[in-house]
Amino acid sequence: MPVPNPVLNPPRRILLIRPSALGDVCRTVPVLASLKQAFPDAVIDWLVNDVFVDAVSAHPDLCDVVPFPRRRFAHWWRSPRIARELVGYLRMLRRSDYDLVLDCQGLGRSGLLSWATRAPLRIADRHAREWGWLGATRRIDTSANAHDVDRMLALLEGCSVPVVKDMRLHVPESDRAAWNGLDFPGGQYAVLAPTSRWITKAWPAAKWAALAESLLEGRCEHVLLIGAPNERAAVSAVRDAMSTSADRVHDMAGRTSVGGLMAVIEGARITVSNDSAALHMAVGLGGRCVGLFGPTNPGKVGPYGLEACVVRAPAAEPVHYRDTSIGDSIMDRIEVDDVLTKVDAVLADAAGSAS
């Protein structure tokens, strides 16, 4: 049976599948914006990990969020009760009557979720890992696109939708109000995201501390250090490495929700981050950011559209970020002065845009 052409048959109900990771969720919003512009009357939902719902829930182009309880379903085969819940979840997707599904994750799990909808048009990357393309009715070759965002946008070719490169994120109003209502010490602040899941992508704590001290010398009044609850030790190491101005450095690790973190970044004068979710949030919340890259390629995973905001460590040899034997040796090649130069350039651009 031929797949309907959504240009001739505009979809009524669309599901965008991008459950994780948080940074990748933030980088998927141009797909949502493109779909909404092409199909303004369609209901557009987003299937996302339940812990990341706040990242997209306030987006005006989105009708609803479909939370995916990944942690609960992670080992479904060990519990008949959880297995039944998973079957019920898949049946719910089918009952939702979607007629267009885009799998922007490209894994076996997301392919299964796409297939479960039984939508007549299900689009995925031809090169999806873990056989994820099996869940699709139309497969798109995205290999000509270097950046991960462009690879996701290439899927729109499967439903003849023009690309809209709108990276803007939207902070939930409750989180913005809560952050604005805090008795936070006055003045402008910088956000530093010194952690990474991989030591190979993490700038050394001593250099983060030196950067924080330099920022406090006229560039901002306060520095906020952010991180997940399981990264508190790494964040504390940065603060402990500082010799001065510790009273103006605030440890926020584990103290914010996803929506709260968005509000913090939105209000910052600048955000400096390793290759992590905070950087991609900052792209969508004003673009006042500097990204530090070592073994990962910013041309593939860097801040989209903000190539000038990258400081990349010189690497004489090809390395992979999963090779933990290199430790932070690549990232350690980034000098504090180089980061400060980039920070000053971003701040000058922001000041020029505001005037």
Question: Per-residue pLDDT tens for 268-304?
Answer: 999 999 999 999 999 999 999 999 999 999 999 999 9
CB 203 within 8 A of CB 331: yes
pLDDT at 25 over 70: yes
The gap from C-alpha 156 to its chain's centroid, in whole angstroms, comes to: 20
What is the widest separation between alpha-carbon atoms in the chain?
A: 70
Quote the CA–CA distance of 234 and 243 in Å, as a whole number.
17
Residue 318 is predicted with a pLDDT of 74
Residue 307 is predicted with a pLDDT of 96
E strands present in 108-231:
121-125, 138-140, 189-193, 222-225
Strands of 189-193's sheet in order across: 249-251, 222-225, 189-193, 270-274, 289-293, 310-312
pLDDT at 1 over 50: no
If you average pLDDT over residues 137-147, what whole number do you get? 96
Residue 184 is predicted with a pLDDT of 65
Query: Residue 146: is it exposed, middle or buried by C-beta count within 10 angstroms (0-12/13-18/19+)?
Result: exposed
Lowest mean pLDDT among 38-42, 72-76, 192-196: 72-76
| Superfamily for domain range 173-354 | Glycogen Phosphorylase B; (3.40.50.2000)
**What global pTM score does this model have?**
0.94
Average pLDDT, the chain: 93
Block residue for tokens 């390629």: 297
Q: Could you tell me the residue ranges of all domains in the chain?
A: 13-159, 173-354
Note whether 13-159 and 173-354 share their fold.
yes
User: pLDDT by residue (tens digit) across 208-248?
Assistant: 999 999 999 999 999 999 999 999 999 999 999 987 767 88
Residue 8 is predicted with a pLDDT of 52
Cβ atoms < 10 Å from Cβ of 249: 20
Residue 337 is predicted with a pLDDT of 98
Element (H or E) spanning 353, and its range? helix 336-354
Residue 9 is predicted with a pLDDT of 82
pLDDT at 157 over 50: yes
Residue 314 is predicted with a pLDDT of 86
CB 292 within 8 A of CB 274: yes
| pLDDT band (50, 70, 90) for residue 111 | very high
pLDDT at 2 over 50: no
CATH of domain 13-159: 3.40.50.2000
**pLDDT-above-70 percentage for the chain:** 95
User: pLDDT by residue (tens digit) across 318-352?
Assistant: 788 999 999 999 999 999 999 999 999 999 999 88
Quote the CA–CA distance of 266 and 264 in Å, as a whole number.
6
User: pLDDT by residue (tens digit) across 167-217?
Assistant: 999 999 999 999 986 756 566 899 999 999 999 999 999 999 999 999 999
Question: Among residues 46, 33, 146, 159, which one has the least CA distance to residue 105?
Answer: 46
